[in-house]
């Protein structure tokens, strides 16, 4: 990690000077263990395709919690060789919370829709039975 500016302290709770050059912490070491493999695979695949990457993953916050971040980056090549990686890291806590809220709302809506569909099927079945009874009653009345 070389230059690091912005709200690193606000996002992850660490002093940027402690991360630059892995002085106290490495950025990789602060990446949540459950997300490391996916993060590396995403970056490696983007480099191989010659495209930028955009991903959301967790970092270990200085307070012992988790900070969700969004990283957008790209590989920089000089004379055809990979020189370094550059990127922008921003907080994704609100984005992840909003997505969780939307997923919860979607699940609730699907459940409610399922209940409505079940009720509609019952009503339709009852209407069919009543229609058949009415037809049978007319037939009997006609006899």
Q: Report the pLDDT value the prediction gives residue 42, as an integer from 0 to 100.
A: 96
DSSP per position, 77-124: EETTEEEEEEEEEEE-HHHHHHHHHHHHHHHHHHHHHHHHHHHHHHHH
SS3 state at 75: strand
DSSP state of 31: B
> In this structure, is the dihedral angle defined by the CA atoms of residues 51, 57, 61 and 67, taken in order, positive or negative?
positive
Question: Cα–Cα distance between 31 and 45 in angstroms, integer?
Answer: 18
Mean pLDDT of all residues in 68-88: 91
Contact 70, 95 (CB under 8 A): yes
Question: Cα–Cα distance between 20 and 26 in angstroms, integer?
Answer: 8
Of the options 3.20.20.300, 3.30.70.1890, 3.40.50.300, 3.30.450.20, the CATH number for the domain spanning 8-91 = 3.30.450.20
pLDDT tens digit sequence for 13-69: 888 888 888 888 888 889 999 999 999 999 999 999 999 999 999 999 999 999 999
């Amino acid at each position: 990690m070389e230059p690091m500016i912005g709200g690193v302290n606000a996002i992850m709770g660490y002093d940027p000077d402690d991360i630059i050059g892995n002085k106290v912490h490495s950025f990789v070491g602060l990446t949540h263990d459950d997300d490391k493999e996916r993060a590396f695979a995403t970056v490696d695949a983007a480099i191989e395709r010659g495209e930028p990457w955009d991903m959301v993953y967790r970092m270990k916050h200085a307070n012992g919690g988790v900070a969700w971040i969004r990283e957008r980056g790209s590989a920089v090549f000089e004379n055809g060789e990979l020189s370094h990686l550059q990127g922008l890291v921003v907080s994704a806590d609100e984005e992840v919370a909003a997505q969780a809220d939307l997923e919860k709302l979607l699940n609730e809506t699907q459940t409610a829709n399922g209940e409505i569909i079940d009720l509609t099927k019952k009503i339709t079945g009852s209407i069919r039975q009543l229609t058949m009874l009415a037809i049978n009653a007319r037939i009997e009345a006609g006899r």
